[in-house]
Amino acid sequence: MTEAVPTAPRTVSHDLPVTPELERFLASGWAATPLPDALRLPAADVTPARRQRLSAHFPGERLIVPAGALTVRSNDCDHRFRPHSAYAWLTGLTGEDQAGHVLVLEPDGPHRHEAVLYVRPRSPRTDSGFYRDRRYGEFWVGRRPDLAEAERMTGIRCVHLDDLDALPPGRNAAADAQLASVLSELRLVKDAWEVEQLQLAVDHTTAGFEDVVRSLPRALAHPRGERWIEGVFGLRARAEGNGTGYETIAAAGAHACVLHWIRNDGPLDARQLLLLDAGVETDTLYTADITRTLPLSGRFSPVQRQVYDLVLAAQEAGIAALRPGARFRDFHRAAMRVIAEGLTEWGVLKNPEGDFHRRYTLCSSGHMLGLDVHDCAQARADAYLDGVLAEGQVLTVEPGLYLQPDDVTLPPDLRGIGVRIEDDLVITADGARLLSGALPRTPEAVEAWMGELLEG
């Protein structure tokens, strides 16, 4: 079995020696500090059904779903840890203390499994790891639940991580393509609790966009205004949730023509647009994914309005194509038809046929959304990209136009303008419901919204 268990504690040159006398002193005089019973996880009531659905696909097989391991950022500093989304979905555990933990589904009958969590319980104060282990010692990184507390939190039987070594091999989601695909496909349709979490993520993201607009005067005055914008949104994300669900794109001017511009090191110019693509990730790890393109002066210029109006019309066409039973690719095709026709009306294209419009809008117009910003990516094509939409799926609709500053096929006044409008929607019985409707989309509403926030 490929084991996702972290390495032994690191030794570093500046560790001070511990004398036997100090060791005895450190191991004594500690009060009991149990975690309160109220810490039952919010998802603990819905995870058993999820595990049962997975169990039905692999009768009689041992299934291994690791949380993942810490990775080094620099020397003895690790990146902030986030559990693998499949592990979080099956256990409800989302904290940084899950590094190295493993969920095992043990066969328990023809079509059933028993869930067992292999965890690193809290270290007793008599154990030097409490104060010597810089990666996992509680003196360094904080309190962990003991085995009994972990069981109360999750409703899953918990055993010590050290016992994982004796476990026979099984199907490991970190290396088994079929298991990874099934886990992705099971997550395609969200339950009611998940939709609530996604709405919460969207609501926090809306507040973050409002923060950004209020901060524009200071951002415009800073030589790296894009980074100021990123920081303002990041503050909201950390204050309200786990952080951002992905690296924030704060792209001003021609930077908006770079699809994943995350350097965010440029200045802001009041004559230009700001493309802000950002999402708050909740403490339960569900993320929003919203983009607005904002006039930094508070008002669109005529040419900016021309581009914005075309992208908005494309998004409206895409949203109108969402319904259960529609092909997943239908909304993209609907949006691109509008884009191609608009580029033809402008004289940029000779006609709307073919795929020449892709020079100006290269990527797809949306994706599934959930625990990952590009959710369920391991699903088979016939279940996702080439499949049909179903009630309860959550996705984005995000057409854009990226008119490169050095593209001589474009009129000079269009060059260097990038516009994307992205919203999050849940498929309903007869269409789709806009989760992100609190953020304005029409140019008139955007201008009015910005004006109110800046005056306030």
Report whether 294 contacts 285 (CB < 8 A).
Answer: no
CA distance linking residue 293 with residue 308, whole number of Å: 8
- For 97, residues 6+ apart whose C-beta sits below 8 A from its C-beta are 141, 142, 144
- Residue 384's closest CA among 397, 401, 368? 368
Q: Is the pLDDT of residue 4 over 50?
A: no
Write the DSSP string, 159-218: EEGGGGGGPPP-EETTT-HHHHHHHHHHTSB--HHHHHHHHHHHHHHHHHHHHHHHHHHH
Question: Residue 226: how many CA atoms within 13 Å on its side-chain side?
Answer: 24
pLDDT tens for 151-209 read 999 999 999 999 999 999 999 999 999 999 999 999 999 999 999 999 999 999 999 99
- Closest C-alpha to 246, from 280, 211, 203: 280
Could you tell me the pLDDT band of residue 126, with boundaries at 50, 70 and 90? Answer: confident
391 band by pLDDT with thresholds 50, 70 and 90: very high
pLDDT at 60: 94
Count the neighbouring beta carbons within 10 Å of the beta carbon of residue 42.
Answer: 14
Pairing verdict, β 72-74 and 290-295? unpaired
pLDDT value for 316: 98
At residue 3, the pLDDT reads 42
Tell me the pTM.
0.94
What angle in degrees, to the nearest 10, is found between the helix axes of 47-57 and 177-186? 140
Q: Residue 64 forms beta bridges with which residues?
A: 104, 172
In the predicted model, is pLDDT for residue 288 greater than 60? yes
Residue 191 one-letter amino acid: D
Q: Among all chains, which residue has been given the structure tokens 């969402």?
A: 322
Round to whole Å and give the CA distance between 395 and 195: 11
Cα-to-chain-centroid distance, residue 119: 25
- Integer Cα distance of 96 and 53 in angstroms: 27
Digit-coded pLDDT (tens) for 170-185: 999 999 999 999 999 9
Report the chain's mean pLDDT, rounded to a whole number: 94
Local confidence band at 17 (pLDDT 50, 70, 90 cut-offs): confident
- Whether residue 93 is predicted with pLDDT greater than 50 in this model: the reply is yes
- CA 106, CA 110: separation in Å to the nearest integer? 11
Half-sphere exposure (Cβ direction) of 375: Cα atoms closer than 13 Å: 28
Determine what percent of the chain is predicted with pLDDT higher than 70: 96
CA distances from 421 to 378, 400, 401, 403 (A): 26, 7, 10, 15
At CB < 8 A and 24+ separation, what contacts does 212-218 make? 212/276, 213/294, 213/449, 213/450, 213/453, 213/454, 214/453, 214/454, 214/456, 216/268, 216/296, 216/454, 217/454
Cα-Cα-Cα-Cα torsion 349, 351, 355, 361, nearest 10 degrees, comes to 40
